[in-house]
Amino acid sequence: MSRRVVITGLGLVTPLGVGVPVTWRNLIAGKSGIISTTSLPNYEKDGWDKIPSKVIGKVPHGSLTEGKWDPEDHFERGEARRLALFAQYGLAATKEALEDSKLINDTDTPKDRIGVAVGSGIGSFHDLYENAIGFNESGYRKVQPLFVPKLLTNMAAGNISIKYGFQGPLHSVSTACATGLHAIGDAYNFIKNDYADVMICGGTESSIHPLALSGFARARSVTTEFNDTPEKASRPFDANRNGFVLGEGSGIVVIESLEHALKRGVNPDNIYAEIKGYGLSGDAHHITAPLENGDGAYRSMKIAVERSGINVNDIDYINAHATSTVIGDRAENNAMVRLFGDNTNNVAVSSNKSSIGHLLGAAGAVESIFTIKAIKDSIVPPTLNLDQIGQHKEDSQSLFKFDYVPNVAKSKDINYAICNSFGFGGVNATVCFKKFS
């Protein structure tokens, strides 16, 4: 059974703002959502001051009318206390996506034909830390009754399903930094294989915590430079890149079969894009470092392109995973060069992590939304802080041959685009999107 799968709703919570309009506007304007930990209220008390990396991509706090985050804008006070922050972000983004798709008012679609596939790479870091400290200091009585339900990575998906009564496939992948993109790809397959007509899918993460940042700093994964100029810290493909910036947020996408969307009255002009193919692979190499030749990334992209039924030269834009690490950006670039060969002149490549940091399990979902918006609006978001392309001392400059859209967004008609996500454990995911027609 061949079913076309289209995108009809989008929802975002990011360091650039709460909601798709404000986030997209700030992204295209070249703004940064990366801040210094020195601005946090308990900088010394919580131990941020002892961590060599002092930059994070944090969802801004304030009123929703200003495009910022206040849980009371989304939940009753008692409800918010029962939900971990990553689940709150996922629920808020879901509501926006459902309203955007007009599905929130749909009463005709059977609930068992609507599913949820929303993942998280880590779940509730805060609850794990607080309950471990409470148990260590005072024992059993200090462990919260909702500790385990708040901790689990599938609880964003579970709470979305329960809140809206969606009884179709309930799925929560957790594949590190490929989580959000795997969730969208898996949801696409659920619709293609007729498990559902509609899927609410994406990723959510809230790991801005001193213990989390400490762990990534000890692993030498995050940047320790540009602490005084946080907006310059994330610099994918740049000569001075030296680590990623830890971020948080959520991206939720409503996808459905084209037949179902048209049947329920969706205006074709309001369809954002179509999903054409999904690729995934494993490096089988190292728990944190990719193969330098990018073989796993190459195979993931190649599968997505082949399953889309297109030629690689049809691709106009790549939303790169590029996290601003030395080896990671090089490996992905090597994979792209291998995929495209000499036909790189017309391909735009950019990394949104320069603007928001690395949202871990939410990254692929948020970046898919940016890819979808790029197709719909015919504009490629910029790669910020890209001053010297690929000229790191260990890089071969001759291999950095794409248009990386440095610092300023550019207008471009995009018919096909791919979005990449790669994660610890050697996991790779790619989704191919097409302009809807």
Active-site residue among 126, 171, 177, 182?
177
Residue pair 32/297 in contact by the 8 Å Cβ criterion: no
Alpha carbon distance 264, 94 (integer Å): 19
Q: Is residue 358 annotated as part of the catalytic site, yes or no?
A: yes
Active-site residue among 321, 392, 419, 432?
321
Active-site residue among 358, 392, 419, 432?
358
Per-residue burial over 143-162, b = 16 or more CB atoms within 10 Å of its CB, e = otherwise:
eeeebebbbbbbbbbbbbbe
Task: Determine if residue 265 is left, alpha or beta; phi over 0 gives left, psi from -120 to 50 gives alpha, anything else beta.
Answer: left
Q: Is residue 432 annotated as part of the catalytic site, yes or no?
A: no
Beta-carbon neighbour count of residue 81 at 10 Å? 11
How deeply is 130 buried, as exposed, middle or buried, from its count of CB atoms within 10 A (0-12, 13-18, 19+)?
middle
Alpha carbon distance 328, 106 (integer Å): 43
Alpha carbon distance 85, 124 (integer Å): 7
Q: 303 is written with which tokens?
A: 């599968």
Q: Is residue 321 annotated as part of the catalytic site, yes or no?
A: yes
Q: Which stretches of 228-381 are DSSP H helices?
A: 258-263, 295-308, 326-340, 353-356, 363-377
Strand 5-14 relative to strand 249-257: parallel, antiparallel, unpaired? Answer: antiparallel
Residues recognised as catalytic: 177, 321, 358
